[in-house]
Structure 1
Amino acid sequence: MRKTAPLKNKRTALVTGAGRKAGIGAAIATRLEDDGWTVVTTHWSDYDRRMPWGADETVQGIEADLADPETPARLFDQIDGDVQALVLAHCESVDSSLLDTTVDSFDRHFAVNARASWLLIREFAKRYRGPHGAGRIVTLTSDHVVHNLPYGASKGALDRITLAAAGELGHLGITANAVNPGATETGWITDPLRETLKQHTPLGRVGTPRDCAGLVAFLCGPEGGWVNGQVLVANGGAA
C-alpha cells in the first residue's frame, strides 16, 4: 500500500485502481507522491487475474472490491487523516458488443465504473475537512463505445456524475473534473494496433501513463483550482 505516516499539513490523496505498475493509476500515485502528497491506493486482485495484461508488476495497496456498495465507506475508514484529493482510476473493462454483452457484465460495469464512483465521491464529500477551494476530484473517463459497450456506457454515466459533483460540491470548496487520456500504453495494446494509433496521432506516438499523470497532478494542485466541471481530452490530438 502506498501510504506513509501523515505529517502536519500533509495533503492526502486517495487513488483507486492503482495496482499495476504499468497502469495510469500507479503513475498518478507516483507523480502525486513526487509533488509531496501522502498517497493511499487501492487495487482489486480478481480483476488483475481476469485481465492479466500489464499485471506483471503490481503495487501493494488496499484490496477493495468496488462492486460492493459497502466498500467506499469501509475504505475511507481505513485512511489516517483527511483526504483532500480523490482520483478515480479504477475500472471494469471487458470488451463486448451491443449484441453479445451479458446482463451480468453490463451490471458489473455500472456497479464498478458508475455506482462505486458516485459512492466514493459522496463519501469523500461527506468527510471533507480540508481548506475551502483545495478539495479535488479527478475521474478517468473514455469515449470508447463500439465493441466496448458496457465500458463506454458506464464511463458516460461517470462523466455525468463528475459534472454533478462539480456543480453540487462547490460550497465545500471541491472541484471535479474528468480526464480522457485516449489509448495509453498500459500493456493491452498489440503491435498492429500501436502502429494504427500512431498513424492517427499527430505526434506519432501512443500516450503513456505519465502523460495522464501530469495533467491529473496539475488538476490536484493549487494552480488547477479554477478548472471545474470539465471533461478534458488529453490524447495527443488523436483522430
Structure 2
Amino acid sequence: MYNLNGNVALITGVSHEKGIGAAICHKLASNGADIFFSHWGSDSNWVKEFEGRIREYGVRCGSLEIDLADPGTPVNILEAVTAEMGLPAILVNNAAHSFRDGYMNLDAKTLDDHYAVNMRATFLLSVEFARRFRQTPIPAGRIINLTSGQALGPMPGELAYAATKGAISAFTLSLSVELAPLGITVNAVNPGPTDTGWMNEVIKKEILPKFPFGRIGMPEDAARLVAFLASEEAEWITGQVLNSEGGFLRG
C-alpha cells in the first residue's frame, strides 16, 4: 500500500470496466487518492456505477466525457478537475487511439487521428498540468504515460499507432529534465500485451506460450506499477520507460 491520501489523480481514457484505465482508478483509490477520470463514448450508466465503486474506497470521484482529439481538451479537463477537486498532483495519460493500417492503407486521416489523441493530447495535457502545478504549494507531482513497447520490436499493420505511441517515449525523457526542478517526475509504462477484453481465444492461445509466467498480462499488473510511480517511494525515478511485460518473449 502506498499512501496517496490527499492527492488528486487525473486518469484519461477510462472507458470500460476491463480496461487498464479502470484498473488504475481502482488501485490509486485503494491507496487513498481522489479520482477524476475522462471517458469518451462510454455508457452513462456504467460511468455512474463505476464512480460509485470508486467512492467505496472512501475517496472522492468525478468524471468528464470529453473528446481528447479536440485541441482545447487539455485546458478544459484541467479546469473541470480543479473546479471539482482541486489541482491534481498525479496525471496518468492512459487514453489511446488505435486503428490497424499497414502501408497499403496508411493515409493522412489515419495519421492525424492517431496523432491527435496519442501525441497531441498527451503532450499538451502534460505541459498544461506542469504550468498549473508550478503555481501551487503541492510539493511533488507525477506524470505517468502509457506506451506500448514500440522500441522492443516491430508492430506490422499498426504503423500510425506505433509511430505516435513511440513518440511518447522520447517526449517522456525530454520533459522529465525540464520538470525535475518543479518536483515533478515523468515516466512511461509499457504494460505489454494485456487482456482488456480485446483478445479472442485464438489470440490468447497464440501468445500465451510467450509469457514465461504461464499467464497473460492483466490490467491490474500495469495498475500496480502506476501506483508505485505515483508514490513518494518513486521520487528518484524519472525519465524512464518501464517495460512491465512479465518477460514477454518476442520473435
1:43 to 39, 43, 60: 39
2:235 to 225, 234, 239: 225
Contact 2:143 2:184 (C-alpha < 8 Å) held by counterparts: yes
Contact 2:149 2:243 (C-alpha < 8 Å) held by counterparts: no
**2:218 matches 1:208:** yes
Range that drifts further, 99-108 or 15-24: 99-108
TM-score by length of 2: 0.84
Match of 2:124 in 1: 119
2:146 to 129, 137, 140: 140
For residue 74 of structure 2, give the secondary structure of its aligned residue in structure 1: helix
Following superposition, the deviation at residue 68 of structure 1 comes to: 0.8
One-letter identity of the residue aligned with 1:77: E
For residue 89 of structure 2, give the secondary structure of its aligned residue in structure 1: strand
Match of 1:95 in 2: 100
Q: CA RMSD in A?
A: 1.7
Q: Deviations over 1:9-28 (max 9, x none)?
A: 71101000012111000100
Following superposition, the deviation at residue 204 of structure 1 comes to: 1.3
1:185 to 195, 216, 223: 195
TM-score by length of 1: 0.88
Match of 1:69 in 2: 71
Match of 1:155 in 2: 165
Contact 1:12 1:37 (C-alpha < 8 Å) held by counterparts: yes
Counterparts of 1:39 and 1:130, CA distance in 2: 20
**2:206 matches 1:196:** yes
Contact 1:136 1:176 (C-alpha < 8 Å) held by counterparts: yes
For residue 9 of structure 2, give the secondary structure of its aligned residue in structure 1: strand
Q: Deviations over 1:40-66 (max 9, x none)?
A: 000111xx69xxxxxx95546311111
Q: Pick the structure with more helix per residue.
A: 2
Counterparts of 1:175 and 1:35, CA distance in 2: 19
**2:25 matches 1:29:** yes
Contact 1:131 1:173 (C-alpha < 8 Å) held by counterparts: no
Following superposition, the deviation at residue 98 of structure 1 comes to: 2.1
2:80 to 78, 81, 88: 78
Q: What are structure 1's unaligned runs of at least 5 residues?
A: 1-8, 50-55
Following superposition, the deviation at residue 114 of structure 1 comes to: 0.4
Contact 2:14 2:95 (C-alpha < 8 Å) held by counterparts: yes
Match of 1:53 in 2: none
One-letter identity of the residue aligned with 1:75: I
Q: Deviations over 1:127-171 (max 9, x none)?
A: 112533x21000100135311111111001111111122111011
Counterparts of 2:129 and 2:179, CA distance in 1: 11
**2:210 matches 1:237:** no
Following superposition, the deviation at residue 102 of structure 1 comes to: 2.5
Match of 2:175 in 1: 165
One-letter identity of the residue aligned with 1:42: S
Identity of aligned residues (%): 41
For residue 10 of structure 2, give the secondary structure of its aligned residue in structure 1: strand
Q: What are structure 2's unaligned runs of at least 5 residues?
A: 52-62
